[in-house]
């Protein structure tokens, strides 16, 4: 487990601090006062450093190092700019131990200093992440202490922001660790153990449905996918109960695809496509991590997480293209491609969420390569049956600075998942619109419950660092879900809207 630094407030920079970060606006214009050493502004002007967002200039000093960090146009400094700047600072200070951030000096007059503080903690905390569990000679970020410089009068209002954002950082790092952990140790059984450990530590109700219970419940999608693997599946249910429920008495269901390794099954993936397939449980990891911090953040709504965990392997016991599975909802599915396994395990988890009476369902899944083709590695696809829910999620994502983009669930394409011999088949026709036919398949299991689906196949696992986003597992979705739950307003059950948008063609 990677340890993020501790964050605290201070009014001045003590002797033990070895790095001071000073914000510089486009110009370059040094913002704030009294923080850094005397900087030769005239010289800075002649340098190539222009104060662009995230740009850094390291000035080694006799007693301590100054990191000038760009924040772009002074009037436009917001939480997103500061999150990025803080991440740049810690990346530039990787081997130092204590850093003072004078970055609140960059917040424009009247700006929200609590949001700014949260963003700084997130950027600095997430920027220090690197997965090195299996390195004999690890090179972790050495920073153990980050000071946020602010006037004493502000400390009372900023401390809760620090506490909350520290919890958020821990949650995102937990999601990253779960996904980065190799698939020989992060099995469905192990994921369930982690859920239980986390639940006991933070105070969540955790229920684990093992293969026997799954058989009794008729979770045919989950069992079908898992049957080729030596590792049995788990359906993990984690519940957060608000202490002071206000407003809605319902609950939000968060459903995560938890394929701990996706070989494709008998519809085997090519070797290159398999290399990152330990990341196919990123949706489940994001849901687990989100639940893990709810007792600290205390949203007012009940939240139930459903993690559909299985391993997709080829073997003499594996499902075959052509097999028919019966799902929890009673619908039968002809499996024509065993690599389209995510929708099979999610079908059962979504059905359970509907049965449990969720008032809104959000699922996160590394569901389709087609979504990566459409939107690339940094943007998730957003689909769903309720405009209000989708709008709330989009706003939450924009608050978290995680990119999501709406995709349609076209009624015209629904017949592509009709099967000749069963109720549904698990692939569309041909290569086109794969993200949409996958979404249409999931929709079949959401009943009349407002539902939104995030296809995170692109942004869940990336091949390079970018600001607070780490190479490998990113923890994408955790901060969006947390922002969503924080601002959640019960969505209206608009059945007509569902039919208008995605009703059957015939």
Q: Which residues contact Zn ion by CB under 5 A?
A: 259, 262, 280, 339, 341-342
Q: Which of 181, 211, 339, 401 binds ligand BES (CB under 6 A)?
A: 339
From Zn ion, ligand BES, none, which one binds at residue 457 (CB under 5 to 8 Å depending on kind)? ligand BES
447 belongs to the binding site for ligand BES (CB under 6 A): no
Per CB under 6 A, contacts with ligand BES among 299-338 are: 337
Task: Compute how many residues bind ligand BES; rule: CB under 6 A.
Answer: 16
Nearer Cβ to ligand BES (4/371): 371
Give yes or no for residue 474 binding ligand BES (CB under 6 A).
no
CB of 230 to Zn ion, least distance (A): 18
Q: Is 416 in the site for ligand BES (CB under 6 A)?
A: no
Distance in angstroms (rounded) separating the CA atoms of residues 331 and 182: 34
Give the binding range for ligand BES (CB under 6 A) out of 88-96, 174-182, 239-247, 362-370.
362-370
Is 361 in contact with 453 (CB distance < 8 Å)?
A: no
Any alpha helices (H) in 227-364, and if so which ranges?
271-274, 282-297, 342-355
Nearest CA to 439 out of 357, 377, 381 is that of 381
Q: Specify the residue, 72 or 428, whose C-beta has the smaller distance to ligand BES.
A: 428
With tokens 């494709």, the residue in question is: 264
> What's the min distance (Å) between Cβ of 259 and Zn ion?
5
For CA atoms 237, 446, 257, 419, give the dihedral sign. Answer: positive
Contacts of 332 (CB under 8 A, 6+ apart): 324, 325, 326, 419, 422, 423, 424
Could you write out the three-class secondary structure of 367-407? CCHHHHHHHCCCEEEEEECCHHHHHHHHHHHHHHCCEEEEC
Q: Which of 198, 213, 304 has its CA nearest to residue 250? A: 304
Distance CA 463, CA 476 (A): 14
The CB-of-207 to Zn ion minimum distance in angstroms stands at 24
Catalytic pick among 269, 298, 326, 471 = 269
Minimum CB separation of residue 413 from ligand BES in Å reads 13
Question: How many Å apart are CA 23 and CA 12, to the nearest integer?
Answer: 16
Q: Which does 107 bind (CB under 5 to 8 A by kind): Zn ion, ligand BES, none?
A: none
DSSP summary character for residue 206 = E
Buried b / exposed e across 174-204, counting CB within 10 Å, b at 16+? bbbbbbbbebeebbbbbbbebbbebbeebeb
Among 104, 165, 195, 457, binds ligand BES (CB under 6 A): 457
Kindly tell me which of 88 and 263 has the beta carbon lying closer to ligand BES. Answer: 263
Q: How far is the CB of 176 from Zn ion (least distance, A)?
A: 19
Residue 459 interacting with ligand BES (CB under 6 A): no
What is the helix (H) or strand (E) element at residue 90, kind and residue range? Answer: helix 79-92
Kindly indicate which of the ranges 143-151, 205-213, 291-299, 365-373 contains the residues binding ligand BES, using the contact rule CB under 6 A: 365-373
For residue 40, give both structure tokens.
């030769």
Active site residue 269: yes
Spatial contact of 67 and 21, defined as CB atoms under 8 Å apart: yes
Contact stretch for ligand BES (CB under 6 A) within 10-18, 145-153, 297-305, 368-376: 368-376
User: Is there binding between residue 369 and ligand BES (CB under 6 A)?
Assistant: yes
Q: Which of 105, 177, 181, 262 binds ligand BES (CB under 6 A)?
A: 262
**What is the nearest approach in angstroms of Zn ion to the Cβ of residue 379?**
19
Cα 153 from chain centre = 34
Cis, bond preceding 296 (omega within 30 deg of 0): no
Nearer to ligand BES, 128 or 267 (CB): 267
CB of 282 to ligand BES, least distance (A): 8
* Known active-site residue 343: yes
Q: Return residues touching ligand BES (CB under 6 A).
A: 262, 280, 337, 339-342, 366-370, 372, 427, 434, 457
Which residues are known to be catalytic? 269, 343
């Amino acid at each position: 487990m990677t340890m993020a630094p501790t964050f605290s407030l201070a009014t001045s920079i003590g002797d033990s601090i070895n790095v001071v970060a000073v914000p510089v606006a486009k110009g370059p214009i040094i913002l704030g006062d009294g923080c850094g050493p005397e900087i030769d502004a005239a010289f800075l002007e002649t340098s190539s450093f222009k104060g662009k967002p995230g740009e850094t200039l390291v000035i080694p000093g006799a007693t301590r190092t100054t990191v000038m960090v760009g924040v772009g146009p002074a009037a436009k400094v917001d939480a997103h700019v500061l999150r990025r700047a803080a991440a740049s600072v810690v990346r530039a200070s990787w081997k130092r131990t204590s850093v003072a951030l004078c970055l609140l000096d960059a917040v424009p007059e009247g700006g929200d200093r609590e949001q700014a503080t949260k963003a700084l903690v997130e950027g600095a905390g997430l920027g220090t992440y690197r997965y090195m569990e299996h390195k004999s000679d690890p090179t972790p970020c050495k920073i153990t202490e980050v000071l946020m410089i602010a006037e004493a009068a502000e400390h009372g209002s900023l401390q809760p922001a620090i506490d909350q954002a520290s919890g958020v950082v821990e949650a995102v790092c937990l999601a990253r660790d779960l996904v980065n952990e190799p698939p020989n140790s992060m099995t469905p059984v192990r994921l369930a153990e982690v859920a239980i450990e986390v639940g006991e530590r933070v105070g969540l109700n955790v229920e684990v449905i093992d293969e026997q219970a799954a058989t009794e419940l008729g979770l045919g999608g989950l069992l079908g996918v898992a049957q080729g693997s030596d590792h049995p599946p788990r359906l993990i249910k984690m519940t957060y109960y608000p202490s002071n429920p206000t407003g809605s008495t319902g609950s939000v269901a968060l459903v995560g695809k938890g394929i701990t390794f996706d070989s494709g099954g008998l519809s085997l993936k090519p070797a290159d496509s398999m290399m990152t397939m330990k990341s196919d449980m990123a949706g489940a990891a994001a849901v687990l991590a989100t639940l893990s911090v709810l007792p600290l953040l205390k949203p007012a709504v009940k939240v139930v997480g459903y993690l559909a965990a299985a391993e997709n392997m080829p073997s003499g016991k594996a499902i075959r293209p052509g097999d028919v599975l019966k799902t929890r909802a009673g619908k039968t599915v002809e499996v024509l491609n065993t690599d389209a396994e995510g929708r099979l395990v999610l079908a059962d988890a979504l059905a359970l969420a509907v049965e449990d009476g969720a008032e809104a369902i959000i699922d996160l899944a590394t569901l389709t390569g087609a979504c990566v083709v459409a939107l690339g590695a940094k943007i998730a696809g957003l689909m769903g049956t309720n405009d209000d829910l989708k709008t709330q999620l989009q706003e939450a994502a924009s608050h978290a600075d995680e990119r999501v983009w709406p995709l349609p669930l076209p009624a015209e394409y629904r017949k592509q998942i009709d099967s000749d011999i069963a109720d549904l088949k698990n692939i569309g026709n041909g290569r086109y619109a794969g993200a949409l036919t996958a979404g249409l398949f999931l929709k079949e299991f959401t009943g009349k419950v407002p539902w939104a689906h995030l296809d995170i196949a692109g942004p869940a696992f990336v091949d390079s660092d970018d600001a607070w986003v780490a190479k490998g597992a990113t923890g994408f979705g955790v901060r969006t879900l947390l922002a969503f739950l924080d601002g959640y307003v019960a969505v209206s059950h608009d059945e007509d809207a569902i039919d208008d948008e995605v009703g059957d063609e015939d």
